[in-house]
Structure 1
């Protein structure tokens, strides 16, 4: 469930932020922010589904998933292929996210 919540949250956050980008930077209609805001609300709700004791740890681990998702968006939606430095950085961030989320915790 955690992976699905993180992936869904990342897609919702990127789509919501892109709606604002489209309005402000691509001269799209102001109405783009309506689905953008709904998407950002979905993002926030999806993060509450992650089974973690502390919100901060949930958000920190989500950061790695977000970075990978943003690079997929870059490639799939914007048509710019990530380079090796993007991929190396994303792998490091995803590794850090896994350590934060799944690392052993003392009592």
Structure 2
């Protein structure tokens, strides 16, 4: 996982709250690199948006585009999923859904099923 690109997670909780977060996978905090939350948005009590002051400048534009998508009621496309272990996030890349061979043939022909 390259620190040059942010980790984006997004989804909907069981209670219906939408969320999207932008993480730095290897931000140096107190001498040790680790995941760090750079920006986030939720619909918990109201539409909330935050950007950490440590957020790399190029990522601010990414966060703003994510928020624009979020405000329209859509979720930004996630790059990773997150699993929490002992209060620490572990990220896994999102894999594209696999197509079956028949669907690939239809795509090549330019027709829908």
Q: Which one has a bigger Cα radius of gyration? A: 2
Higher helix share: 1
Q: Give the TM-score normalised by the residue count of structure 1.
A: 0.28
Q: Give the TM-score normalised by the residue count of structure 2.
A: 0.27
